């Protein structure tokens, strides 16, 4: 499932290539024909990501709300421009590294997790934005024939965005959007970070639910999925099973601050980089391979990188939870 950083990246892509333009909207698959007819011919005015949802505003107080869920993805094709800062995003990443590592060129992930940043701006390309990015292949026909079940196609003169497999794709008024957002926990890239910390801390300190489940609850905090959950808890050396109200307040606050640190790095690089203090070679390796950039996620049965104890995996609310029983005792 795409975590918060992916959704923020998608919103940024909309800001660059769709916002400010009039769209031709259609539903090649046929399941969003009426909604597409409402959007057709309107100008996109704003793209907002909150938690794992994206809200696209069109003229006339019409909003499109999209939740990708487990299998949804956006494919961009045509002119797909990349923010000038992306080219140096790894340099910026480097500055967040406490050893001061600065890496000039983008390091591509073997699994294509950060494929978007491989595109020079602007160029003709086909980009799939989801957790399972497939990289690029050259685009010839324009507009491209829809492939598979495209719920919604938004087309400008030069860019095509195809939505497949979302959990939610619906039109809303601004009041309805606000009501949706009000139900979501704070998002460090949307809300004031200090206020978000207070809200998050107050909520967690009231709950008997385990902190491992609370971090995944989008009404408690926005954008955290399975990878960030495991990694944040390890970084805090916090047992995932502790009820929220029993987690020391300072640890709760640190979890929020750490999320506020990691999320922008994910948005910039397209990768859920959760390790600090890497030397340049280790940093390069971590950027290129998912298995080299996490503390415990996806490491069941392997020795903990810190203490050597076998990392455990268990099912929690249907999702795999990874943790070190010694470091997070």
Residues at the interface with Zn ion (CB under 5 A): 304, 306-307, 309, 324, 326-327
Nearer to Zn ion, 212 or 270 (CB): 212
Beta carbon of residue 300, minimum distance to Zn ion (angstroms, whole number): 13
Beta carbon of residue 90, minimum distance to Zn ion (angstroms, whole number): 29
Beta carbon of residue 327, minimum distance to Zn ion (angstroms, whole number): 3
Nearer to Zn ion, 124 or 326 (CB): 326
Nearer to Zn ion, 48 or 235 (CB): 235
Beta carbon of residue 320, minimum distance to Zn ion (angstroms, whole number): 18
Of all residues in the shown chain, the one whose CB is closest to Zn ion is: 304
Beta carbon of residue 322, minimum distance to Zn ion (angstroms, whole number): 11
Beta carbon of residue 244, minimum distance to Zn ion (angstroms, whole number): 23
Nearer to Zn ion, 158 or 242 (CB): 242
Nearer to Zn ion, 180 or 274 (CB): 274
Distance CA 303, CA 72 (A): 34
Contact 240, 313 (CB under 8 A): no
Nearer to Zn ion, 79 or 276 (CB): 276
């Amino acid at each position: 499932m795409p975590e918060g950083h992916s959704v923020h990246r998608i919103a940024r892509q909309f800001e660059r290539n769709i916002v400010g333009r009039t769209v031709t909207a259609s539903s090649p698959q046929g399941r969003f024909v009426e909604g597409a007819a409402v959007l057709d011919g309107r100008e996109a005015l704003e793209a907002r990501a909150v938690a794992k949802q994206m809200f696209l505003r069109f003229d006339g107080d019409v909003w499109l709300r999209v939740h990708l869920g487990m299998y949804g993805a956006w494919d961009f094709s045509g002119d797909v421009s990349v923010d000038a800062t992306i080219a140096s995003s790894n340099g910026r990443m480097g500055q967040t590294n406490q050893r001061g590592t600065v890496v000039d060129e983008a390091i591509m992930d073997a699994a294509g997790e950060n494929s978007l940043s491989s595109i020079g701006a602007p160029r003709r390309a086909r980009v799939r934005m989801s957790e399972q990015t497939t990289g690029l292949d050259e685009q010839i026909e324009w507009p491209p024939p829809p492939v598979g079940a495209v719920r919604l196609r938004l087309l400008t003169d030069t860019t095509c965005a195809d939505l497949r497999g979302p959990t939610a794709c619906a039109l809303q008024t601004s009041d309805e959007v606000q009501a949706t957002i009000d139900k979501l926990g704070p998002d460090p890239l949307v809300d004031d970070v200090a206020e978000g910390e207070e809200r998050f801390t107050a909520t967690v300190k009231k709950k008997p639910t385990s902190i491992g489940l609370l971090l995944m609850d989008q009404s408690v905090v926005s954008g955290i999925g399975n990878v960030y959950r495991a990694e944040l808890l390890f970084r805090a050396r916090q047992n995932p099973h502790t009820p929220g109200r029993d987690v020391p307040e300072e640890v709760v606050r640190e979890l929020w601050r750490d999320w506020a640190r990691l999320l922008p790095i994910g948005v910039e690089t397209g990768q859920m980089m959760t390790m600090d203090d890497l030397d340049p070679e280790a940093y390069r390796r971590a950027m290129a391979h998912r298995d080299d950039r996490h503390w415990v996620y996806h490491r069941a049965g392997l020795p903990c990188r810190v203490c050597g104890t076998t990392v455990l995996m268990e099912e929690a609310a249907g999702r795999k939870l990874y943790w070190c029983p010694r470091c997070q005792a």
